Amino acid sequence: MENSIDKLNRLKREKDAVIMAHYYAIDEVQEIADYIGDSFYLATLGRSLPNKTIVLCGVDFMAESAKILSPDKTVLIPDFTATCPMALMADTDGIEAVRKHTEDVAVVCYVNSTAELKASSDVCVTSSNAVKIVSELPQKNIYFIPDINLAKYIQEKLPEKHFIFNDGFCCVHDGITEEETLKAKAEHPGVKLLAHPECKEETLRHADFIGSTSQILDYAISSEDDAFIIATEVGILYKLAQHCPNKTFFTVNNTQFCKSMKKNTVEKIIEALETGEPEMVLQGDFIRNAEKPLTRMVELA
């Protein structure tokens, strides 16, 4: 009798498929994934792989970015309800209004956004390259959508730029409060706090290192410290434990949990490969228009 791993491997061969997962996916999915990474890696990886099918175990905007950058591939998203609420926290009317009333402005779109928002923007960024890319833009004024916390973090690094903020946020990272952060630091004196820039300004103020998921992982791996407090989603603990078996990781609170990311399961991956659904399908116009800011990101990163 074929077990689920044999079945998965057979389907992967039959469909010429690779499985990609974000660091926030559940442990079982990270275990069977061929590639695991941050959102920049997942968006761009498909282009360098020969496979016809990508199964993207993340959230909707990640599958959209992969499809936009690899339009000839089939992109399957095991659970179509795995959506990122922040991706919808800006709108094209707001972009038009800013463009109309502000001279010398660049619309910078965090990759955690819908394809529609990307299509109306000048350039995309992820948390791993946002500071570098914004610093290289010729415009002084930056309308940054949707995440206000990441925007404030970049603004602090680049005081020469003038930011127009939009009030989107990630409920998981924004929910890590300063009070909880100080409590965690008091409980673990001398232990470094590693935080994602989607956290609030007052939480980031207490961080020893701020970076994307892959940068947090790299920092923990190369550091000589043997314990860390982690201010990002708990899924990253799987890779941290795998790479640093002798180090200890604490979270700030017990709600660092992205419900959408946890919706992808091995059973749903098998079903998606068997049925070819749900597939990420985007209209040609969206693909063409959203491809420009994403490609500009790849060039500038």
Interface residues with ligand SF4 (CB under 6 A) are: 59, 84-86, 112, 170-172, 198, 233, 258, 260-261
Choose among ligand SF4, ligand 13P, none what residue 39 binds, the Cβ cut-off being 5 to 8 Å by kind: ligand 13P
Give yes or no for residue 39 binding ligand 13P (CB under 6 A): yes
Q: How many residues bind ligand 13P (CB under 6 A)?
A: 10
Instruction: Check binding of 114 to ligand 13P (CB under 6 A).
Output: no
Judged by CB, which is closer to ligand SF4: 122, or 198? Answer: 198
Q: Choose which of 113, 127, 149, 181 interacts with ligand 13P (CB under 6 A).
A: 127
Sign for the CA dihedral angle at 255, 257, 263, 267 comes to negative
284 Cβ contact list (under 8 Å, min separation 6): none
Q: At 44, which helix (H) or strand (E)? A: helix 39-45
- Write down the least CB distance from residue 127 to ligand 13P, Å: 4
Task: Pick from 30, 121, 213, 251 the residue near ligand 13P by CB under 6 A.
Answer: 213
Q: Which of residues 147-206 bind ligand 13P (CB under 6 A)?
A: 170, 196, 198
User: Nearer Cβ to ligand 13P, position 15 or 147?
Assistant: 147
Chain Cα centroid distance, residue 182: 26
Q: Is 252 in the site for ligand 13P (CB under 6 A)?
A: no
Query: Which class for 77: exposed (0-12), middle (13-18), buried (19 or more C-beta within 10 A)?
Result: buried
Question: Cβ–Cβ contacts within 10 Å for residue 91, how many?
Answer: 16
Distance CA 166, CA 49 (A): 36
What is the maximum span of the chain, computed from C-alpha positions, in angstroms?
Answer: 66
Whose tokens are 């790479």? That residue is: 243
Q: Please give the structure tokens belonging to residue 217.
A: 């992982």
Q: Applying CB under 6 A, which of residues 30, 65, 70, 126 lies at the interface with ligand 13P?
A: 126
Residues that bind ligand 13P (CB under 6 A): 38-39, 112, 126-127, 170, 196, 198, 212-213
